[in-house]
Amino acid sequence: MVAPLTLRPAESSDLPSLVELWGDSLRSGEAGDGLGDLEVVLERCERDDRVRLVVAEHDGTFAGAVLLVVSTVSPLNLAPMVHVVSPTVVEGMRRRGVGRSLVEAGVAYAEELEIAQIGTASASTSRDANRFMARLGLATRASFRLAPTAAVRARINAMRPTMTRPPRQQLGHVLAARRSMRRQAASRAS
């Protein structure tokens, strides 16, 4: 007999399991940031029908979760889509149909709202997750990159030419001008 797999809306009692499940995806820093953020997400689900937090249970045991958010394909492409955010399965519950069921919840939600597209993102380092999404027909559309603002500012500043050292393309012009001035000075001296 196959153990039953059920999907249900998340409840506040699920928050500790969700923090553990999504620990790498949550804000880090002060203690409680991740838990506080998930409390806000759960409150948003209760008042906004365009956001759902779905929990999977396998034989009554917490097995995974997914956040479903109605959004647009991008800030420039305003076609609606259901963003299937972090469909994640508990380590010991993999290969039991939990991941497929979490993504299927996103598909059913999109169908319910008559939205023609779903999208998701997975860590570029997660080969299994990326292969799983590809098997379900989700193609790579973009590469999302993230870095601290201060780090990007430092890199931009490092790439700027400085006054003490001209950029390579200008260096050739400077050297050519110096050679020209030496030739002129030599021709005047003779």
Residues 172 and 82 in one domain: no
Residues 95 and 179 in one domain: no
Residues 43 and 22 in one domain: yes
Instruction: Assess whether pLDDT exceeds 80 at residue 167.
Output: no
Q: Lowest-pLDDT range, 1-5, 124-128, 164-168?
A: 164-168
As for how many domains the chain has, the answer is 2
pLDDT the model gives residue 22: 92
Residues 85 and 50 in one domain: yes
Residues 28 and 113 in one domain: yes
Residue 4's contacts (CB-CB under 8 Å, 6 or more residues apart) are 58, 59
Inside any domain, residue 154: no
Residues 62 and 136 in one domain: yes
Percentage with pLDDT > 70 across the chain = 92
Question: Which is it for the CA torsion 135, 137, 139, 144, positive or negative?
Answer: negative
Q: Lowest-pLDDT range, 46-50, 65-69, 124-128?
A: 124-128
Residues 9 and 86 in one domain: yes
At residue 38 the predicted structure's pLDDT band, cuts being 50, 70 and 90, is: very high
Range of the domain at 91: 5-147
